[in-house]
Amino acid sequence: MRSIWLIVFIVSSCTLLYLMARRKLPRGFFSRFGTHLVLSALAIYALNFSGWITGWYVPLNPGTIGTVAVLGLPGVGLVLGLQHLILT
């Protein structure tokens, strides 16, 4: 089961990188994306230690921060759902 998720993750990551490399990036893309990464890390940190979701912990790693940076706060729900699906 884990190998299927790993294959899906690798294929989707490669596809995303290909699409980003093929398309011309607008001006200021990296500064906006860096700001989103920092705000995502702060949101995950605040969510972990605020007590809003008791019994759950979203790890602070590049994968979760990147997911939340790209998808926004619904990305936290996605990470929690995937964590529940894989760990149970």
pLDDT tens readout for residues 14-47? 888 888 778 777 778 888 888 989 988 998 888 8
Residue 13 has pLDDT above 80, yes or no: yes
DSSP state of 81: H
Rounded to the nearest 5°, which phi and psi values hold at 72?
A: 85, -160
Tokens of 64: 């979760």
Tokens of 62: 């590049």
pLDDT at res. 44:
87
Question: CB count, 10 Å around CB of 57?
Answer: 13
DSSP state of 25: P
Q: How far apart are CA 15 and CA 82, in angstroms?
A: 20
